[in-house]
Structure formats: C-alpha cells, structure tokens
Amino acid sequence: MNAIVVVDQNWAIGREGRLLFNLPGDMRRFKELTEGGVIIMGRRTLNSFVEGHPLPDRRNIVVTRNKDLCPPEVEVVPDTGAALEAVAQEDPEKVWVIGGGSVYAALLSRCRRAYLTRVETVAEVEPDTYFPNLDHLPGWEIEETGEPITENEVTYRFVRYINRNLDSAS
C-alpha cells in the first residue's frame, strides 16, 4: 500500500477539505499512479471531488460511519481496519491512501511508500490539516527526489519515501 499527497514546507495538506495548491502536473501524476488501482479516503476527501463523485477507473473505498452521505458507486467501510480488510486481496502496489489527515495518520505505518509532491514554499492560506513529517518518523527515508517543476507560480518536486520499518517486519 502507498500514500500519495501534496505537502508544503510545513507538511500542511489542506484547509476545510480542499487542497492548498492547484498543480496540474501533480494531478496528472496522481491520475497516472492511481488509475486502475484502489483508493482509500475519508468522506471529506470524497466530497472535495467534483460534485462528490468517486474517481473513475479506480475502486473507491470511503472510510465513514455515515454511509448515507456517500454515493452508491463507492464502497463504504466504517473504519480503517475494515478498509484494510477490503483491500487484503489487492496488489499492495495498486492500493493508494489519498487522505484526509486522519486516514493518513491511521494507515501510514502500513504504507510501503509515500509519493509526495513537495511544494517548496508555505501555503498562502492558514491550513487546518497536516501530513506526518516523514523526515522525523523512524524508518522513513527518501528513496527518490525529482527535479524542480514550476507551474502557477509554485515550485515543487516529486519526492518518494520508503518505509524501512516494513523491511524488518517481513
């Protein structure tokens, strides 16, 4: 299983259920990596999509206790443990945790890799949601860092981390 996220320099990821940055290159990468796979998210992340519709060409799993707030095309599970059960037979490389903050916090230790879009500045709005700082978590190491990309007056790079804690657990 993998995590995928956009973070600023303070590891902020959102405000009021919305992303902090509009980065078309990041969105293309997200689509390329997750299409054909399984995405696990919270209800507010689902609601942040256009009209709250699930993403096409992916199995959409939503962690929420209120299934009435989700469209019928998504699989609803009551907690992250049930989400893990739902993906137990899937290829782990095709399972993606996509947010929000509490879902990342609950599942990050089970992720083999984290694919970050690391923005080289701090968000202009006051964030209310953060991703765990992988540079301070034992076992997480940078596996690959891409070249800087600038679009919409924002510079970022793709950074892939690997969770070495899972090496010793195998």
Tell me what the mean pLDDT of segment 81-110 comes to. 97
CA end-to-end span of the chain = 14
Q: What is the DSSP string of 31-43?
A: HHHHTTSEEEEEH
Question: What's the pTM value of the predicted model, to 2 decimals?
Answer: 0.94
166 backbone dihedrals φ, ψ, rounded to 5°: -75, -20
Q: Is the pLDDT of residue 168 over 80?
A: no
Q: Is the pLDDT of residue 170 over 60?
A: no
Q: Is the pLDDT of residue 67 over 90?
A: no
Instruction: Output the pLDDT for position 165.
Output: 93
Tell me what the mean pLDDT of segment 33-39 comes to. 98
User: Which domains does the chain show, CATH number per domain?
Assistant: 2-169 (3.40.430.10)
User: pLDDT-derived band of residue 66, with 50, 70 and 90 as boundaries?
Assistant: confident
